[in-house]
Structure 1
Amino acid sequence: MEQVELRFDHASRAAQTHTNLSAIRQSPYGLWVAGDETATFEHLTWTGDHYGDQRGYRLTDYVDLPAGPEDEADIEGLARADGFLWLTGSHGLKRKKVKSKDPDRAAERLATVVREENRFILVRLPLDPRTGTPLPGAIMAGPRELTGHLRDDPHLGPFLGLPGKDNGFDVEGIAVTTGRVYLGLRGPVLRGWAVVLELRPQEAGRGRLSLAEPYRKHFLDLGGLGVRDMCPDRGALLLLAGPTMDLDGPVRVVRWRLGARRERLVPADELETVLELPHGVGCDHPEGLALLDDGRLMVVYDSPSPARITPAGGVLADVFTI
């Protein structure tokens, strides 16, 4: 394993993007990255010894966010394919954290479930083929598009009203390949089986993205873990598998070789464990992965430990040979 520094500007460090990284993809010039506490995404350029020279982009400059530019979008996945950059929110509810030692206040917060509309988005941004920068013409599937299709789903519908960290519906990865969009779900995990949705979005006019055909569900035996991120690997997908609940636990990278275009259960013996990843206790949670052009795998961490924070205000990512 090697480590490489991702160096962010003052505004991103103030927004704590560098300590809340949730998604990463390689670009021809560096890395696309995003955190889950803002409504922005960033590009870092390789400088020779680190990724830096950051350029920040606001989602609201390209699409009309349902709750406006100030609310976070909880970006949990990035994908790059066919001249487009894709971004997905979690599409999930959240339960308030316990912050008070007063039992009544703590219990009240723990009973409060919040829906933030900016979390329920799927965005496709065109990229300039010469510079790789975003262009006008983005299209977005809004808050009711995906979850509206799933409302009556026998597997997923009952979990739409549960917060993500309570095994509720929670998108945490996206991969785009062969004209299909795959969304990896952190939850729900159904009796140990994780879920990956396969979609075929289409342009619907007026800046809108819609689903072109019925979605497909794939159930993967990840040993009780959910999908925390995913990326293409030729005719396969690499899945970052980790706990669905808010806890420390095993995290591994698993290769799923795509097969027939049908809904199916994928048993454990059809999944190859590529890496067992390190994780901390209350820190260093693997959240994003990207397959680099040289075949190595880069992993970024949410809540990085102090050892990952560099003197320049950057953060260290891990790079593995697989």
Structure 2
Amino acid sequence: MSAQRHARLHFSTETKAAETHTNLSAIRTDGAVLWVAGDESTTIERLTRQPGGHGVTYDDEVSFRLSDLVSLPSGEDSEEADLEGLARDGRYLWAVGSHSLKRSRVKDRHDGEKAFSRLGTVKSEANRHILVRIPVVDVDGMPTLARETEIDGNVEYAAMLGGHSDSLNDLLKRDPHVGPFLSIPSKDNGFDVEGIAAFGDRVFVGLRGPVLRGWAIVIELRLTPTRKNPRRLKARRLENGARYRKHMFDLGGLGVRDLCTQGDDILVLAGPTMDLDGPVTVFRWHGAAAADEQLVVRGDRLTPELELPYGKGDDHAEGIALLGTTEEPELLVVYDSPGEHRKNPKLGMLADRFTL
């Protein structure tokens, strides 16, 4: 399926110069606002939809540094957070890093021993191992991210899971399905978070990998601030006494690339786990908000909604968000490794819109 319509995303001169607007990995609509994150930065951008015209255009970028909101594990902005998902529910914006190990890339200029050396180099970057909940406040009529705010007489803080031996990796290290893959880099079918959805304090995290004999995984947690430190999140015990539960998905061998709520459902963007071109499908997990036990999600619970286009070596769908109205909903799609036709200094980055 080719895109029926498009949207233009205009970024600031500073963002363009840093080239952090190219590989977009996470988006979420919020009224007239579009929250955007890339996988090579430690910032979240806010774009505003412009009224009128025949198309959809977002600009007026405002950038929020994660280090101004929470204490990053590395203590600095220079190490990317590799943000792979954004969710908006109630008073908060949620953001999640990939939590993955990174194998060095072999580029065209690398050959011989240099190429072998890079392929044998695996790095762990602390800022990738975070999941944050950020209060959203109204400033001059615009949703704005806040380090802290007072709500109904109570002070609420931006809070984080990770950085204190309490990350998703720590929670899952003894898990029989996921644990063995924590030491394997992303794109090697290793542990790799992509996508987040929230219903109140219930948070669903999608895994691009591992995919186990064709089955993809979504992790569900209940996250609230700790009593001792309101800037820290804790995975509370669920009904079964565990601090998380897993849902297994029959996505036809694909991994999760993003999650997006629509009513009580979750839209699941599914794509290849490995670093390759391949089919990209949007599935609907019906009644996700009502899940109260670990589920095998298939059959009537999981139906395909859209087949999305993909390029050869480029245009890999990476982030989805809802647009349009309840009666005529659309899906906004942004891409990792975008094709050259999507990049235009004057017209902005080109995203796609599909009718649901």
TM range (shorter): over 0.9
Query: Are 1:51 and 2:58 matched, yes or no?
Result: yes
Q: Distance in 2 between matches of 1:34 and 1:59?
A: 11
| Correspondence list, 1:233-312, <5 A | 233-257=262-286, 258=288, 259-294=290-325, 295-312=329-346
Give the secondary-structure state (helix, strand or coil) at the position aligned to 1:254: strand
Which residues of 2 match residues 166-245 of structure 1 at below 5 A?
Answer: 166-204=188-226, 205-213=229-237, 214-245=243-274
Higher mean C-alpha deviation, range 171-180 or range 81-90: 171-180
Deviations 1:100-158 (A, max 9, x none): 54321111110111000000000111011453101122101113322111110000000
Per-residue deviation at 1:260?
Answer: 3.6
Q: Does residue 135 of structure 1 match 2:157?
A: no
| Distance across 1 between alignment mates of 2:94 and 2:220 | 15
Q: Is residue 121 from structure 1 mapped to residue 121 from structure 2 by the alignment?
A: no
Aligned residues: 322
The one-letter code of the counterpart of 2:161 is A
Which residue does 1:315 correspond to in 2?
Answer: 349
TM-score by length of 2: 0.88
Quick one: which amino acid aligns to residue 312 of structure 2? V
Specify the alignment match of 2:240 in structure 1.
none
Matched, 1:147 2:169: yes
**Deviation of 1:18 (Å):** 2.3
Are the structure 2 counterparts of residues 260 and 306 from structure 1 closer, same or farther at C-alpha, using a change threshold of 3 Å?
closer
Following the alignment from structure 1 to structure 2, what is the Cα–Cα distance between the partners of residues 54 and 173? 23
Runs of 4+ that moved beyond 6 A: none
Partner in structure 2 of residue 102 of structure 1: 111
Tell me the amino acid that sits aligned with residue 34 of structure 1: A
Which of 65, 73, 90 is 2:81 aligned to?
Answer: 73
Q: Alpha-carbon deviations, 1:140-184, whole Å to 9, x = none?
A: 111332211111000000000000110011110000014310000
SS of 2:344's partner is coil
Q: CA RMSD in A?
A: 1.3
CA contact (8 A) 1:18 1:314 kept: no
CA distance in 1, matches of 2:350, 2:307: 18
Tell me which residue corresponds to 2:151. Answer: none
| Distance in 2 separating the partners of 1:219 and 1:167 | 16
| Aligned equivalents of 1:215, 1:150: Cα separation in 2 | 9
Maintained 8 Å contact 2:201/2:224? no
Structure 2: runs of 5 or more not aligned:
148-156, 238-242
Worse-matched range after superposition: 137-146 or 106-115: 137-146
